[in-house]
A and B are shown apart, each in its own frame.
Chain A
């Protein structure tokens, strides 16, 4: 029986090792219902996943190491009580060297993790490291306002030259509006300005690995890049009130041409004056 425990404690590191080995291929730990399946739907998201897996490998290695050490000690101890073994019990009063080692080694590992992920964090959060398309976090595609319990979105309108106007900090007569429907072009970084209309919310695109709190009174730039066209989920990830559960929207990534077509459609819809096209003979004024 006494050796049973050695094997019992040796069994778990094997399980952990196997799980860790197959985890990335099984896609257990990441949202996997978007257009890209198990893979993150944005380039930076893939790098975030890599960071996650690196930490998983480090923790698995640590777990296996400590379990093996435990098994070794148990096995040795079990051998001492075997029949005919004359060895006596001995007491230890700690080992300064050992303690230094098990302080320094984890500290180095943690320091390594902290330094290793800095590049990614910088690209996600620090404006000066934002992709060139956002011009250092100054050019946004839309203003997203979180409010209880919906996402209101303001896009800049389309100018006379058929191109998008810049998004101004204050609403403009040409602006276009949608609710719960954020549209971005596929395959290029897009930046939004995140605001809150009331309490704290969080802008969460699970498939793109984007999560940013919306704080009342702050304009927070958030950028992301959808690598594949399709519908993604946009959720609120901060408990914001009784209707938090229903604060769900969609992010639609479309090819550039389709995206512009959507914007043109939206312009037409938003300027709709209730007069059916066929009866336009009396038309006067604009358009």
Chain B
């Protein structure tokens, strides 16, 4: 199977946005995220022959992007490592109503505050509705590990979102300022 059979244009149309968002969640900046996405599609063009099963395109793309990222990280120090604080204050229960207040930038920005091994499965879960089995394949980790990282990652994300929403409720400009500082 070559890239002509795979209908490159359609693959770009369907997958480039979630791939970019996944790349951003790994790299933490738009330039590297775009570069990671581009490299993934270059690999599809140059090595699409490795892909035997058309139904696996989505998993192949996410797996390839993640491996490219790991390869770059081994040779570079440009990717930031975010460490979480060990102290987690008591927070209000995170409700669907609170989730309604979360936009894409706040969600991504907050995810970037979480350690990468929790963040990667979490973003894959939310982004493209990847099943836990696909996430295990993309990240090359056991299914049980995916489940525990998803469970913990969701908890961490909600706690941090709750903190930021609480902060913005107390000081309405604080959230905007936080996001401006990140950019």
The answer to whether A and B interact is: no
Interface residue ranges, A against B (CB under 8 Å): none
